[in-house]
C-alpha cells in the first residue's frame, strides 16, 4: 500500500521528486552549513505564493474562464478562435504566470475546438498556447518565475527590465501571430454528433479538464455573477497589492500578510489549493543551484562560459535543466543580468523540459486524446507525434529568437 502511494506521488509530482533528488545529490559535495539559509530568495517565494493564492481565488469565481469565453465567442472561424485562445493565454501569462495560464486555458481550448469540430487544430493550438505562455510572460517581472527571481536578485529597475525584454517579446508575439495565420485554416464550425458512449471518461478533477460526461469541465465553468463581483474586486485589489510588492512599492510581508488574512476570511479554499508542491520545487532548486555554485570546478566552468556568452549559456542550460533552475544556477556566475534574463526566457522554447510549463501542456494533450478516442484527427496525432511537432516549432522559435536578440544583449 505504501509503495503504491509513493509510486502515485512520484507520478503526480515528478518535477518535485526530481528537484528534491537533485538537491540531495549535491549535499555530499557541500555539507549543510549556515550558508544554506542564504540560498533561499524569500521574497521570490513569498510573492509567488501571493500570486498563486490570489489567482486561485479569481479562478474559483470563474473570472478568467468567463473573460476568455467572452473573447472566444466573438470569433466564428477556426483560425480566429485559435488566435483568440492563444492570445488569451499570452495575455493571461503576463499576470497569472505561465503555469496557471496553461492550467486555465488549455481545458477551454479543448472544449471550444472539440465542440466546433475543429479537433484537427487542437495539437497546433496547444503548441502555440505553450509558446504563448512561456514567451508572453517574459515581458513583466511576475510573468515567469525566473523573471521574479532575477528581478529581485539583481534589483533590476523596472524601466531597464521592460527595455531588455521588449525586443524578444515583440519578436515572439509576431512569430506566434504569423504561425496562427499560416497554419490554421479559416474553417467554419461543423455540427458534431454526440458520442456519449465512446467519449465517456472518468477522471480525477485535480488532473485537469475532463468530466464524467465526456465533455470538458471548463465548458461548465462558473460565470462571474453579480453576487460574486464584490469578491472579484477584492481579489483584484489583493493582486494589485502583491504586484506592488514585486515592484518594491509595498513591503512584501505586508502584501502577503494581507493576502493570507483576506483569503482566510473570504476564501480559505484558495489558500488550501495553492500549489505548495511548486513552491517546494523552487526551494529544492535553490538548494541545488546554491550548492553547485560552491563547487570549484562548476564555478570555474560556468564563470568562463558566462563571460563568453551568457545568452547562449542561459538558453542552452534551460534545454537541459529547465529555465528556472538555470536562472538560479547561472545568476551566481555573472553580474551582467541582461543577457542571462533574455537567455533563460527565450530558452523556455526548445525541448519539452526547457520550461516546466511545457510538461503541463503535454500531459493535458494526452488526457484530452485519451478521453476522445473516436476523433480520427486526434487519434492520428499520437503523443510521440505531438512531441515531434512540439519540438520542431519550439526549435524554430528558439533559433529565430536567439538570432533576433543577440544584437540587443
Q: What angle do the packed helices 337-346 and 145-153 form, to 10 degrees? A: 170
Q: How far is CA 38 from the centre of its chain?
A: 26
Q: Kindly state the helix (H) or strand (E) to which residue 368 belongs, with its residue range.
A: helix 356-371
- Mean pLDDT score, 392-401: 97
C-alpha–C-alpha distance, residues 356 and 139, integer Å: 18
- Mean pLDDT score, 376-399: 93
Residues 173 and 90: beta-carbon distance below 8 Å:
yes
User: Residue 368: how many CA atoms within 13 Å on its side-chain side?
Assistant: 32
User: 210 φ, ψ to 5°?
Assistant: -100, 140
- Mean pLDDT score, 394-406: 95
Q: Look up residue 368 and give its three cell numbers.
A: 484530452
C-alpha–C-alpha distance, residues 189 and 88, integer Å: 20
Using alpha carbons only, what angle is made at residue 175 by residues 173 and 178, rounded to the nearest 5 degrees?
105
Please write the tens of the pLDDT for every residue from 6-46: 787 777 677 788 889 989 999 999 999 988 888 888 888 88
C-alpha–C-alpha distance, residues 20 and 91, integer Å: 32
User: Domain residue spans in the chain?
Assistant: 63-221+275-408
Residues 311 and 405: beta-carbon distance below 8 Å:
yes
- Predicted pLDDT of residue 208: 41
- Predicted pLDDT of residue 102: 87
C-alpha–C-alpha distance, residues 341 and 271, integer Å: 31
Q: In the chain, count of helices (H) and strands (E)?
A: 20, 0
What is residue 155's DSSP assignment?
T
| Structure-model confidence comparison of residues 375 and 96, the more confident one | 375
Q: Look up residue 31 and give its three cell numbers.
A: 555539507
- Predicted pLDDT of residue 386: 94
The 10 Å Cβ neighbour count of residue 38 is: 9
Lowest mean pLDDT among 236-240, 248-252, 272-276: 272-276
Residues 43 and 286: beta-carbon distance below 8 Å:
no
Residue whose C-alpha cell is 462558473: 222
Using the predicted structure, report yes or no on whether residue 179 has a pLDDT greater than 60: yes
Using the predicted structure, report yes or no on whether residue 3 has a pLDDT greater than 90: no
Q: C-alpha distances in angstroms, 359 versus 108, 134, 165, 355?
A: 18, 12, 24, 8
Mean pLDDT rounded to a whole number for the chain: 84
The set of long-range contacts for 321-324, using a CB threshold of 8 Å and a minimum separation of 24, is 321/353, 322/353, 322/354, 322/355, 322/356, 323/144, 323/146, 323/347, 323/348, 323/354, 323/355, 324/144, 324/145, 324/146, 324/149, 324/282, 324/285, 324/356
- Predicted pLDDT of residue 200: 43
- pLDDT-derived band at 344 (thresholds 50, 70, 90) equals very high
- pLDDT-derived band at 157 (thresholds 50, 70, 90) equals very high
Residues 110 and 122: beta-carbon distance below 8 Å:
yes
Please write the tens of the pLDDT for every residue from 218-245: 444 445 556 678 888 999 899 889 888 8
Percent helix, strand and coil across the chain, each rounded to 5? Answer: 75, 0, 20
Q: How far is CA 321 from the centre of its chain?
A: 15
- Predicted pLDDT of residue 68: 63
Residues 199 and 92: beta-carbon distance below 8 Å:
no
230-267 in b/e form (b: 16+ CB < 10 A) is: ebbebbeebbebbbebbeeebebeebbebbeebbeeeb
Using the predicted structure, report yes or no on whether residue 356 has a pLDDT greater than 60: yes
User: Residue 228: how many CA atoms within 13 Å on its side-chain side?
Assistant: 15
- pLDDT-derived band at 311 (thresholds 50, 70, 90) equals very high
Residues 108 and 68: beta-carbon distance below 8 Å:
yes
Please write the tens of the pLDDT for every residue from 42-92: 888 888 898 888 888 887 887 766 776 776 677 779 999 999 999 999 998
Amino acid at each position: 500500500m505504501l509503495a503504491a502511494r509513493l509510486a502515485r506521488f512520484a507520478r503526480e509530482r515528478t518535477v518535485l521528486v526530481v528537484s528534491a533528488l537533485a538537491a540531495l545529490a549535491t549535499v555530499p559535495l557541500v555539507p549543510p552549513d549556515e550558508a544554506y539559509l542564504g540560498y533561499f530568495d524569500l521574497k521570490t517565494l513569498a510573492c509567488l505564493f501571493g500570486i498563486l493564492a490570489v489567482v486561485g481565488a479569481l479562478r474559483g469565481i470563474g473570472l478568467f474562464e468567463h473573460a476568455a469565453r467572452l473573447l472566444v465567442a466573438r470569433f466564428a472561424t477556426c483560425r480566429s478562435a485559435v488566435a483568440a485562445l492563444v492570445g488569451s493565454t499570452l495575455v493571461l501569462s503576463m499576470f497569472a504566470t505561465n503555469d496557471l495560464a496553461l492550467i486555465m486555458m488549455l481545458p477551454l481550448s479543448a472544449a471550444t475546438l472539440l465542440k466546433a469540430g475543429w479537433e484537427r487544430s487542437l495539437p497546433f493550438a496547444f503548441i502555440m498556447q505553450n509558446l504563448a505562455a512561456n514567451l508572453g510572460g517574459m515581458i513583466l517581472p511576475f510573468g515567469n518565475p525566473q523573471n521574479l527571481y532575477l528581478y529581485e536578485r539583481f534589483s533590476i529597475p523596472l524601466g531597464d527590465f521592460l527595455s531588455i525584454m521588449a525586443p524578444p517579446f515583440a519578436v515572439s508575439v509576431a512569430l506566434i501571430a504569423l504561425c496562427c495565420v499560416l497554419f490554421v485554416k479559416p474553417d467554419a464550425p461543423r455540427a458534431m454528433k454526440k458520442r456519449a458512449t465512446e467519449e465517456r471518461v472518468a477522471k480525477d478533477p485535480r488532473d485537469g479538464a475532463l468530466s464524467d460526461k465526456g465533455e470538458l469541465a471548463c465548458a461548465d465553468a462558473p460565470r462571474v455573477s453579480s453576487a460574486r463581483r464584490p469578491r472579484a474586486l477584492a481579489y483584484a485589489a489583493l493582486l494589485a497589492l502583491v504586484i506592488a510588492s514585486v515592484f518594491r512599492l509595498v513591503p512584501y510581508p505586508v502584501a502577503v500578510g494581507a493576502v493570507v488574512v483576506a483569503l482566510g476570511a473570504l476564501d480559505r479554499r484558495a489558500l488550501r489549493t495553492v500549489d505548495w508542491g511548486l513552491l517546494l520545487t523552487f526551494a529544492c532548486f535553490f538548494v541545488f543551484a546554491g550548492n553547485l555554485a560552491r563547487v570549484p570546478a562548476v564555478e570555474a566552468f560556468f564563470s568562463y562560459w558566462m563571460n563568453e556568452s551568457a545568452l547562449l549559456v542561459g538558453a542552452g542550460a534551460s534545454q537541459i535543466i529547465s529555465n528556472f533552475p538555470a536562472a538560479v544556477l547561472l545568476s551566481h556566475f555573472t553580474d551582467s543580468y541582461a543577457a542571462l534574463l533574455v537567455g533563460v526566457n527565450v530558452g523556455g522554447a526548445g525541448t519539452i523540459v526547457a520550461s516546466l510549463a511545457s510538461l503541463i501542456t503535454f500531459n493535458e494533450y494526452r488526457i484530452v486524446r485519451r478521453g476522445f478516442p473516436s476523433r480520427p484527427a486526434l487519434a492520428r496525432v499520437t503523443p510521440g507525434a505531438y512531441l515531434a511537432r512540439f519540438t520542431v516549432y519550439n526549435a524554430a522559435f528558439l533559433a529565430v529568437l536567439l538570432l533576433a536578440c543577440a544584437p540587443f544583449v
